[in-house]
Structures are given as C-alpha cells and as structure tokens.
Amino acid sequence: MLNFDEPRFLKIQGGAVALRARLDRVVSDCLTAGAENIYFLGTGGAAILMQPAAQLLQRCSRFPAFIDMPAELILTGSANLTSKSIIVMPSLSGTTKESVALLAQMKEIGATVITLVGHADTPLGKGGDHVFVNFAEDDTSCESFYLQSLFIALSIMRHRGEISNYAEIAAELERLPTLLLDVKRAYEPKAQEFASKLAAADYHIITGAGNVWPAAFYYGMCILEEMQWIRTRPVHASDFFHGTLELIDKDVSLILFKGEDALRPLAERVENFAPAYTEKMTVLDTAEFELPGISQEVRALISPILLATVLERISAHLEVMRNHPLTTRRYYKRVAY
C-alpha cells in the first residue's frame, strides 16, 4: 500500500482495543460512585470523533449524554455539569489549548475527568483523573478515538443493564485491527480513483447521516480543508434538502457517505435525488467492505471506523496526486490565533 506502515497501524489500533477492559472498570467505578451524566468534551477534530458514541448513548440509553465545545463551556458553564459528571476529553497531542483550559475548570467543579491522549507527558496526559494513553498520529488517530469512545458508551449501557450482549460485541471489536487492515488492502486499488475525483475539483459538498455524518464533517473540515486546502460544504443528509440542494448542478461534486445504521435511508434519499442533477456524485458505502465474522449489529456501530480506515488510503493518494503533503499548514499551529 502507498506510504503505509502495516505493523504500525496494527500496533496503534491494537493499543486502542487493549484499553477496553480498563475503560470498562473506570466507567463501572464512576457509576457506582453516583455519576449522573457524561460529557464528551473534545476540541476540533477530536470532538467530532466523539459524536457517534454520544449519539449512541442519546438514542439507546437513559443515561444523560452531552457533547459540547470546551471553548464555549469555559465562557458559559453548564447547569448539568457538576461534580457528578463524567468528563471525556480526547486530545491526540494532549496539549490542545481550549481543552487544557477547561481541564482546570473541571478540577474546580470536581467532575471526574477521563483523558484520551497520544502522549503521557502532556497537560492532559498528566491532568486527568483517569488517563488513557495510546500513541497515534493523524493518519491513525480516527480509528483509535472512535474505538475508545465506543468502548465507553457500551460500558455505560452494560453496567446500567441496557445491553445484554456486551461480551459478544466486545469480542467482535477486539478482532477489528486485523480486519481493518484487510479492508485497507482490499480498498487500495480503488483509493487512487476516489482521490482523483477529489483532486479534480476545488469545491465539494460532502454529506452523510447517522453515525457516519461525523465522518463526513471530519473529513471535509480536518482533511480536505485543513490538510489539503480544498473548500468543502459538509451538510447532514437530512439538512441537504433544506437549502444545500439548491447548490447542486451538473458540475458540482457531491461526496456521499453511507453507513449501516438505522439512518441509512437518509443517505439513500440523497443518492436517489442527486444523479438527475449532477454528473459528479461519488458514494462511499461501508456495506461494500467485507468483514468476516462481524455481525450486522456491530457493523452498524463501526461504520465511521470503516470509513476512517479507507479515507486514510484515499488521503494517502490525494496528497501525492496534488503534491500537497497532509502535514503542510499555513496557519494551524503556525501563527498566533
């Protein structure tokens, strides 16, 4: 595979899977101590990666789950954020400015802070009540964060008696690192073609629904915009028909992500509409990826993880095709802001 280190990938995703048992113990202890809600409080891309787990709890559990922006909470606070709150703060670097500032505020409130970081010797690596370290870099962090947050959500549901097959789901998830590598290998021949469609236009509408909507939002903002300087319009598939559809014409690129959860029909609605008006619709559908031994229930849970793993392959080709390394920035962490 182009510019890809297979052993490194397996080590990183295996590291995320290895955190499951300890995450489960910490969640159990928090609930036993009387936790009343959970907040997923990441910044930027890391925040987006928490959305599928928060959504799972909001729709399948009666345990209150919130997702908010640290930059806003620092200024406003929240009536629901108390000493009985569980705080999940992801940051690959462990140094994200807004998250570090919020951490001090969480300490004052007395909330229990779980930090998910890539480096231990950092403010968030040192400052959490429960610190989970799994080294990763930009090209491998999505799957790692998706998995860790999913483990947290499933653990809450398990200990509240809201899920009866936790052990079976966990066993399937522990097989993912190797299966994801197989998905990458199988998709590699298609990755260059998809990348060529991204490179062929300087503007893309990118959409999805359910737990893959965050993947669409993340890829548009954090990869195409930040790392490739390609303008995008991420829009949820249900909102597509309330404004964005008027931007569609035969020369407008539309990228559609399709997952396998209950919200798939919203993506299919876009898929059925758009071909009559644009010649440039491209679909990325997780149902096309083979995952031997993985149940449909788990496939639905991991659709954003599957997208992340093939999008990395697409991005690897895109940066070469455009002669624009994914590490190139003009402003991000380069100038004061």
Fold for domain 176-321?
Rossmann fold (3.40.50)
Q: What confidence score (pLDDT) does residue 120 get?
A: 97
Dist. CA 279–CA 105, nearest whole Å: 51
Token couple for 192: 């260059």
Please name which of 269, 230, 232, 229 lies closest in space to residue 254, comparing C-alpha atoms.
Answer: 232
Q: What confidence score (pLDDT) does residue 29 get?
A: 98
> CATH 3.40.50.10490 in the chain, residues?
6-173, 176-321
DSSP 199: H
pLDDT tens-digit readout, 176-191 = 999 999 999 999 999 9
Dist. CA 300–CA 102, nearest whole Å: 33
Grade residue 337 by pLDDT with cuts at 50, 70 and 90: confident
Dist. CA 157–CA 283, nearest whole Å: 33
Q: Which amino acid is at 76?
A: T
Residues with Cβ within 8 Å of 222's Cβ and at least 6 positions away in sequence, in order, are 44, 45, 48
Question: Which whole-number Å values give the CA distances from 186 to 1, 286, 299, in the listed order?
Answer: 10, 13, 17
pLDDT tens-digit readout, 231-283 = 999 999 999 999 999 999 999 999 999 999 999 999 999 999 999 999 999 99
H-assigned helices in 97-242: 97-109, 123-127, 141-159, 166-173, 176-199, 213-218
Record the pTM.
0.97
CATH class of 6-173: alpha beta
pLDDT tens-digit readout, 72-109 = 999 999 999 999 999 999 999 999 999 999 999 999 99
Dist. CA 26–CA 20, nearest whole Å: 10
Please name which of 111, 142, 108 lies closest in space to residue 212, comparing C-alpha atoms.
Answer: 142
pLDDT tens-digit readout, 5-51 = 999 999 999 999 999 999 999 999 999 999 999 999 999 999 999 99
pLDDT tens-digit readout, 103-132 = 999 999 999 999 999 999 999 999 999 999
Provide mean pLDDT across the span 288-316.
Answer: 98
Instruction: Determine the straight-line distance between the first and last CA of the chain, rounded to whole angstroms.
Output: 37
